[in-house]
Structure 1
Amino acid sequence: MILGRLKSLMQRLTDSTVFADVLAPVERALSRVRTAPAIGRTLNMADFIALGVLRHLQGMMTLREQVQGLWHLEANAEARLPLARSTWSDALASGARGAVLEGVVAALLEDAKPILPDRLAGIPGLGTRPVRATDGTYLLESAHYRRCTPREGGQDNPKGHAALPFFNLRLGVAEAVHIETRSRHEVRMLRDYDQQPRALTRERGVLWLVDRAFIDAAFWDKKKRGLGSTMITRMKSGLRVDSTEEIPVTDDPYNEGVVADLRITLSSSREPWRLVTFRTRRGRTVAFLTNDFSLLPGVVAFLYSRRWDEEKCFDTWKNDFAQAKAWGKRLTAIENQMRLVLITHLLLAMAVPTLLDETVRDEKALRKQDQRQRAEPDAPDGTDRPDWAARLFRHTSKISRQVLRFFKHSFLAPASPALYERHLRPMLLHYLRLGPDTVGTKPRPAGYVRLLWRAS
């Protein structure tokens, strides 16, 4: 009886709906991933991923909220719920399911490459080289997790569960996440992750953009010698420099704002490093540390600024996907939760260009970017980007909140090209207006969007 009702519920969620269109790449990805026979006797992998994506999409903080919401979706709801909370919790904490989720993330990334634009195309000296960023973020523990910090005699991190996402700057999406519940420094977390056989830090020729907390000269020297991978970060004031040698700065438009370029030696390294000093349009002086000597100094400064894309990703996860708190208390459950958020972000990133049958840009966000670029350097809403870099910011760093609202409130709507053309495209072009023929009219109230799909 329960299985029948669960099947009926999933049929309603995925029968020619907007949600089904969003989930379509998952079915293709699962067909390329080996699944253990014992997985999914009650809740199969397709439904497990669908419910996880839906929870992120709706921004539901608690499992109780989602289960009750699903209960009310049934036309003839009985006393018992279609899915017990314990069933979902057990599935979330399954290592076997985690292996399948990893495979799905990898398959979706391959599918996303021909769909998503290359955000770093045209940067001199970079070519097709992989560019990734990483930085730490934290999740609050679940209500069932009892923290015991080192001060209390335990090993738990006082800030919460630490997550170390690895962000692909070319595609604008995160590719992997390393989770740590113990109280450990970011560099130790990076070294732990590097021990995994399929760690992204083992890939050749990657340019890494990292925070100052990840300055570990021995680690990055080894990566450069063995893999040809280099890094860019902000200079740390406490880092000891033994000697400096000036590198001539070429007269190149891409070097606009460069004050100095130095070859330096660090007390903590036997290899040469580089210190680039840059003055922004607004008069701030910033120093960048790198072991990459192949890039123009102005490009070094520009690339580090693209780390902001990762911060925008964190903003989407925490404020829109309700990812600020762990769903379970076991490490495996937290890891699977993060894999599900990777899948959700990938699906939404692919959904807009796929459903609208072309690469559509968020014109509203781009207009704001252009206004900030045209502002005087001392204007409060100006930008620090050099003028040559403005043309490279043609793709927004964040999934538009208006787009997220469309999928959040219209996930049960009957899918059709007309629906996407009439209600999704205008959100990218004219915010909450109904379409190109209504430019200049008064925006509709936000609550109106929730009812749009019913009229379609």
Structure 2
Amino acid sequence: MIPNRLDALMNGLLNDTVFADLVAPVQHALAFVRRAASVGRVLSMERFIALGVWRQLQGMGVLREQVQALDHLRDQLAPQAESVVPLARSTWSDALASTERRAVLQAMIPVLMREVGAVLPDRLAGVPGLDGRPVRAMDGTYQEESAHYRRCTPKQGGEDNPKGHGELVFYNLRLGLAEDALVETRSRHEINLLRDYDARPGALTQEARTLWVVDRAFIDAAFWDRKKRTQGSTLITRMKSNLVVGSRAAMPIAKTPENAGVLRDERITLLSSSQEWRLITLRTRQGRRLEFLTNDFSLLPGVVAFLYARRWDEEKCFDTWKNDFAHAKAWGKSPVAIDNQVCLAIITHALVTLLLHRQFGAEGARDHKALRKQEQRQRKAPSAPDGTERPDWTVPLFRYTSKISRQVLRFFKHSLLSPASPALYEAKLRPLLEAYL
């Protein structure tokens, strides 16, 4: 591939456009990563990330579609350029499967997240007892394999997961963004993936004093006992029926708004653990009884239940990736290519969120039409089929929506080449945050 094939296209894409505005933080973040500038003489890291973000926003799961669309774009932006395709399929495939690029992406994402965290509103501000602690969720999701991947499941004598490629995603509940992920093509239990991730240098699970909100599949008493003992990190999850409780001792429940609906707060021992745990029983507004398990004794029991409910935010992130981004299906068949793809999904989500905040401040994190719908559900009687189980005291804490709405993402999909200006965002983007078209 001749380097200048791509020059005319990239110059047009990044010439004072909405797309240029969107990916501007990439160059700044890459400046803090060693070797970033030396990776990719033909397709630089900055261009690789920009085209990956563009592909995610366009929802293009097929490489041939990406190449053809870039060819048409080049004809539109630089009709005088040579008539060869600006990006060869092999060039993109090789870049996607590059371990060097994966190392750069994994080093760049924490830098980008620090920039995002410095400006985005704290979604858990006002929750009592957190004291600035990192609060994260983790959960697994599955991705359909690429057309070139030949699955061989355990029933067929292989190791591949019959559900597709597994992704263990780590989500920052304060920012409302995914921060990291572990990819696994083999059929393995979630707790084994967690142990693999924890052994990786720079793993988020190694950060001190983190509060983890997880599904019951991640209950491993020995693992979390060690995390609490060595790092001060604790866990919130749902009680599991096969956990054997050794002893119980009732704890007093403070009469505060946060504890509305709490029936019991017990100090317990588990036969599988060397430390004490806590079992909280809550009755929801709709009358359901839920049991929460935690090894954190510093939080109000009602706050524990509230934080577990916020774990649903990560499901909204998965929904955005699979239904709005080009992430439902793998772009390549190697684990490295899948790793790079999920890194590009994390970066794309962060860049969109950051641009919305730069233009509209905290209002950029609020989808008013979605918030109005939530308020209507809250006002319904608890017995209503479409009412909410959310305790009344938590309503002011839901100031920001968990998902970027599809019509907001359509703005970026269809307006990437528009000249960027505050007037454009006010006229075309702000209304999409305020009402349905």
- With the length of structure 1 as denominator, give the TM-score of the two structures: 0.93
Name the counterpart of 2:213: 209
Name the counterpart of 1:123: 127
Q: Map 1:97-176; keep pairs closer than 5 Å.
A: 97-176=101-180
Indicate conservation of the 8 Å contact 1:133/1:166, yes or no.
Answer: yes
SS in 2 for 1:356: helix
**TM-fit CA distance, 1:322:** 2.3
Is 1:91 matched with 2:70? no
**2: CA distance, partners of 1:399 / 1:271:** 40
SS in 1 for 2:86: coil
Q: One-letter code of the match for 1:318?
A: K
**1: CA distance, partners of 2:275 / 2:331:** 44
Deviation readout 1:108-133 (Å, 9 max, x if unpaired): 10110122110001111111010000
**1: CA distance, partners of 2:171 / 2:103:** 20
Indicate conservation of the 8 Å contact 2:136/2:171, yes or no.
Answer: yes
Instruction: Mark the CA change 1:261 to 1:332 in structure 2 (over 3 Å): closer, same or farther.
Output: same
Q: Map 1:336-351; keep pairs closer than 5 Å.
A: 336-351=340-355
**TM-fit CA distance, 1:405:** 0.7
Out of 321, 324, 338, the position equivalent to 1:320 is 324
SS in 1 for 2:3: helix
**2: CA distance, partners of 1:206 / 1:11:** 43
Name the counterpart of 1:441: none
Q: Map 1:404-415; keep pairs closer than 5 Å.
A: 404-415=409-420
SS in 2 for 1:113: helix
**1: CA distance, partners of 2:363 / 2:25:** 17
**2: CA distance, partners of 1:144 / 1:99:** 24
Name the counterpart of 1:440: none
Q: Between Structure 1 and Structure 2, how many residues are aligned? A: 432
Deviation readout 1:205-252 (Å, 9 max, x if unpaired): 000000000010000000000100000101111111121111111111
Out of 421, 425, 430, the position equivalent to 2:430 is 425
**1: CA distance, partners of 2:100 / 2:292:** 43
Indicate conservation of the 8 Å contact 2:37/2:44, yes or no.
Answer: no
Structure 1, 370-379 or 74-83: larger mean CA deviation: 74-83
Indicate conservation of the 8 Å contact 1:204/1:228, yes or no.
Answer: yes
**TM-fit CA distance, 1:78:** 6.0
SS in 2 for 1:179: strand
**2: CA distance, partners of 1:104 / 1:89:** 21
Structure 1, 287-296 or 38-47: larger mean CA deviation: 38-47
**TM-fit CA distance, 1:309:** 0.5
Deviation readout 1:108-166 (Å, 9 max, x if unpaired): 10110122110001111111010000011011111111111122221111111110000
SS in 1 for 2:119: coil
Is 1:298 matched with 2:298? no
Indicate conservation of the 8 Å contact 1:2/1:83, yes or no.
Answer: no
**2: CA distance, partners of 1:262 / 1:395:** 32
**1: CA distance, partners of 2:432 / 2:141:** 30
**1: CA distance, partners of 2:284 / 2:136:** 23
**2: CA distance, partners of 1:139 / 1:25:** 28
Is 1:80 matched with 2:84? yes
**2: CA distance, partners of 1:36 / 1:25:** 14
**1: CA distance, partners of 2:360 / 2:317:** 23
- With the length of structure 2 as denominator, give the TM-score of the two structures: 0.97
**1: CA distance, partners of 2:253 / 2:190:** 34
Indicate conservation of the 8 Å contact 1:134/1:167, yes or no.
Answer: yes
Q: One-letter code of the match for 2:341?
A: Q
- CA root-mean-square deviation: 1.3
Q: One-letter code of the match for 1:235?
A: M
Q: One-letter code of the match for 2:337?
A: A
Any stretches of 5+ residues in structure 2 without a counterpart? none
Any stretches of 5+ residues in structure 1 without a counterpart? 433-456
